[in-house]
Amino acid sequence: MATSDSRHGGFAISLPVKVAALAVGLLAVFLSGPAAAQELERAMRSVVSVLPEWPPDARRSEEPEGSGVVVLDGKTIVTALHVVDRARSVRIRTRDGKILKARLSGRDRATDIATLTIDTALPPITPGDGEPHLGDRVCAIGNAFGLGLSVTCGVVSGLNRAGVGFNRVEDFVQTDAAVNPGASGGALVTDKGEFVGLLSAIFTKTSDANIGVNFAVSARMANDIARNLREHGRVGRPISGMRMEAAPGEGETGVLGARVVSMRPGSRAERAGLLAGDVIVRAGGRRVRKPADFVSAMSLLLRADELEVEVIRDGANKRFRLMK
């Protein structure tokens, strides 16, 4: 699990049988009935514990294991890159206790996402139907402290978080569901068991304690990265060709956005008709409050043919289309 000061890999703690039974009952109440608890149990079958074998100089004590989510064809597992990056070999442990070999098949350092490949298909997690909404109830499923899969629940606290400082490209779902080292690479799911985020980071200042500000890479981005890594072995990330700065500048007033400072000749942005001085305020339907928001929105071109961009130019709002 990444923190604001260090990288980690985990979440909630397994409970004794009697306490676990009580926890399941409480989850059923929190998630509005036993049907939702059944969906959560189904989602847990698509989350695995990730067991890296570390070289002697990279062994970890607090986070000996991590988590992963089965996606796509059932033979692809998406996880956080920092969980497996220096591992000599990787195995996974399923919900029903099977241990399987896995191969580290893809890395994307810009988003801290990695893919593992297994030979035996597992049930892939149910994808979410679009983005969640603020205040939606969600649960984090992960292998906290290497103690086995467990569940914590909360709400969606924020969407499309970017510029937090963990990764070069960020598109985070923020949640107050408690997360702890070991859960990195686990799943953030709705009360229907639908995948909405890949558990990634804990925001802290001086310790690894949970303070209710936790981040999961949006399921859209996680799935897009996993698909690109599986099909191409890399992520061909679209580049706008612009240099931007935060607007308004220091001491200025105005609407928050990303001001275009310059652009490369022949770049996507120039071909679309953008000009230096334009202030980008929306991209792909998302509000752009700073340059990092636009960088995140550019990743939408991994699955779309164009990106609509709204700018303020000479006091008027104008729209342009960046093509894939």
Distances (CA, A) of 212 to 65, 154, 158, 201: 22, 9, 12, 11
Catalytic member of 49, 67, 112, 224: 112
In order, the DSSP letters of 103-170 are EEEEEETTTTEEEEE-SS--PPPEEPSS---TT-EEEEEE-GGGS--EEEEEEEEEEEE--SSSSSS-
Is 184 known to be catalytic? yes
**Which residues share a beta bridge with 306?**
323
Catalytic member of 46, 184, 200, 299: 184
Size (the chain), residues: 324
Is 112 known to be catalytic? yes
* Cα–chain center distance at 155: 16
Catalytic member of 82, 108, 171, 200: 82
Q: Token pair for residue 25?
A: 């009952």
Do residues 290 and 256 touch, judged by C-beta distance below 8 A? yes
The catalytic site residues sit at 82, 112, 184
